[in-house]
Chain A
Amino acid sequence: MSNETMALAIIFAFVIGTTIVGMVPGMNKKMSLEEWAVGGRSFGRWLNWFILAGEIYTAFAFLGGSGWAYARGGPTFYILGYGALAYVVGYYVLPAIAPIGRKHGLMTQPDLVEHMYDSKWLGILTACVGVAFLMPYLQLQLTGLGLIIETCSYGIIPRVPAMLIAFTMVAAFVYLSGLKGVASTAVIKDVVMIVAVVFFGLYLPIHFFGSVGGMFEALDAAKPGFLALPGGTKVLDVSWAMSTLVLTSLGFYMWPHFSANSFSAKNPDVLRHNAIYLPLYQICLIFPMLIGFTALMVLSPALKVPDMAFMAIVQQVFPGWALGLVGGAGALACMIPAADLILSTSMLFTRNVYGRTIGQGASHETQARLARVLVLVLTAVALALAIYAPNMLVNLLLTGYSGVTQFFPMIVLGLFWKRATKVAAYSGLIVGEFLVFFLILNKMDPFAIAGLHLNAGFVALVVNFVVFVAVSLATSTPATIERKAKAIG
């Protein structure tokens, strides 16, 4: 068999095998919307751990981490820091959400916002913003999957058909499996992916340079300063890294799909327990970077698409079957998070936009049917974005982060501060999102001020926070405080 047939055959074997495993939990009985979407709230410690870890290590960790190392150098290292910090934030936030969700039958992040502030329209707004910023994240997964198929076919399948294949695979997977399927296949994905990144992350630098340290020594000698901030860029300096770490560690649990997952936990203790062990998983993020740095030293001519660094170096050094194994692991790393994202997005739309406006009184069956149809629509939109507005994976990730982090004051102060009010939530969110759009669309990210280069999302978050607190203090009354205390108590 030729290299490309071999590589593609292995990838499809992975994907089809996983889809079958994903379908099993849902095959015997008809799933209700609650089961399809929050797994019937019955996940124990380890299943919950896997599903959280499963979504964190996505196409971004696999391809984006190596791509950024290849293109930018030092700024990439921010990735090592943010996850572990985010879990500290999550240690406080998630266990506070879970009991409220259980008590009041909440399933999504907008449900929570609507409940905390007693405002239907704030919930609808939250859902719309959430959908808007989940799209770049979903686009990231599809782009990654397209890159993998393109490389593994040795260029025979061009980019656009590769993405169409990716689209079909992802949509079929979500449609058939639901959240339970995503959770059980996340286990397979995690194991395969860890084995692949650790093996290649150590093998490649050792193969070419004798050791990891040797590779870094050689790179430092060839490109002095590339491995510190601002690396291969002009603006991604110390202040950028600090502001980005604040943004990403606070924003991590503001992704709408993470709320759904905390509602799927049995009790708050499960979530606290998870927080302890999740940071350890984070060490796996270093390996794709090692591959990206090795690729920078070894591959010539330079890659046009840095996100292909991982796949390109494996393609050059190893035979087709090895590329197929990496591609298979990578494909799962794109598909499973994509599935989860689509599921959350379709839930947000069905339940919190449609169900609260024109679809009021629609039966559960109608909602469940709409949710499944939306799976196809959303994937198609992300596909169109991936084809017509291609972007480097890390830019997609940071855009999504800048947007969802604007929920932070509203949700976290909403959970812990009784004076937080509805008007403040509206004001902070609108000001924050407006700034994110304005700065990113005007190419003012990072935002230069007083010799610093701050992440645009961070700037928006600071303004959002100040507005939120000021408006809350101005608008809270004994009645709103009492109502709030009841909602979060």
Chain B
Amino acid sequence: MNPVKVILTLIPFVWTIGGIPFVNTVKPIVFGLPFLAFWLCCTIPISFVCLSILYKMDSGKNEEE
């Protein structure tokens, strides 16, 4: 499997699940949210970006089929 794809797939998981022990605090409040909530919200755009890139990489392959 393409290593770039593996990394793109893992980033959201490492950020979210791996991050939790380090971000379990209320302060600082970022964009009005407690820090833990802010961190978990970041998973959303991160997944979006990673999946968009994966889709771009895969859609080239589909045309060949």
Contacts and interface: CB of A to CB of B under 8 A. Distances in A.
Contacts of A217: 29
Interface in A86-119: 87-88, 91-92
A246 interface: yes
Given A228-B34, A276-B55, A220 B27 contact: yes
B44 A280 contact: yes
A279 B51 CA distance: 9
Interface string A259-303: 000000000010011011101101100100100000000000000
Majority DSSP secondary structure for residues of B touching A: helix
Contacts, number: 114
Contacts of B54: 91
A272 B24 contact: no
Interface stretch (A75-83, A459-467, A473-481): A75-83
9 contacts: A74-B36, A77-B34, A77-B37, A212-B33, A213-B33, A216-B34, A217-B29, A228-B25, A275-B51
Interface string B20-49: 110011110101111111001101111110
Contacts of A92: 9
Interface in A417-438: none
B29 A213 contact: yes
Contacts of B13: 85, 88, 249
A135 to B, nearest CB: 29
A88 B17 contact: no
Majority DSSP secondary structure for residues of A touching B: helix
Contacts of A87: 47, 51
Given A88-B12, A286-B41, A228 B26 contact: yes
Given A74-B24, A216-B33, A245-B16, 13 more contacts: A74-B36, A77-B36, A80-B40, A81-B17, A85-B13, A211-B32, A216-B32, A238-B20, A242-B21, A275-B55, A279-B43, A279-B44, A286-B33
The 6 closest A-B pairs by CB, nearest first: A213-B32, A212-B32, A84-B47, A80-B40, A227-B34, A279-B47
Given A87-B47, A220-B27, A242-B20, A272 B12 contact: no
Given A84-B12, A246-B17, A238 B24 contact: yes
Contact of A84 (B27, B34, B46): B46
Given A241-B20, A242-B17, A246-B17, A276 B27 contact: no
Contact of A216 (B17, B25, B29): B29
Interface of B: 9, 12-13, 16-17, 20-21, 24-27, 29, 31-37, 40-41, 43-48, 50-52, 54-55, 58-59, 62
Interface string A205-223: 0000001110011001000
A305 B35 CA distance: 28
Interface of A: 74, 77-78, 80-81, 84-85, 87-88, 91-92, 211-213, 216-217, 220, 224-225, 227-229, 238, 241-242, 245-246, 249, 269, 272-273, 275-277, 279-280, 282-283, 286, 289
A31 B25 CA distance: 54
A227 B44 CA distance: 20
B50 A88 contact: yes
B36 to A, nearest CB: 5
A319 to B, nearest CB: 28
A91 B17 CA distance: 19
A92 B25 CA distance: 33
A245 B26 contact: no
B55 A81 contact: no
Nearest to B56: A276
Best-buried of A84, A228, A245, A249 by chain B (most CB within 10 Å) = A84
A220 B34 CA distance: 9
Given A91-B54, A220-B26, A276-B48, A80 B32 contact: no
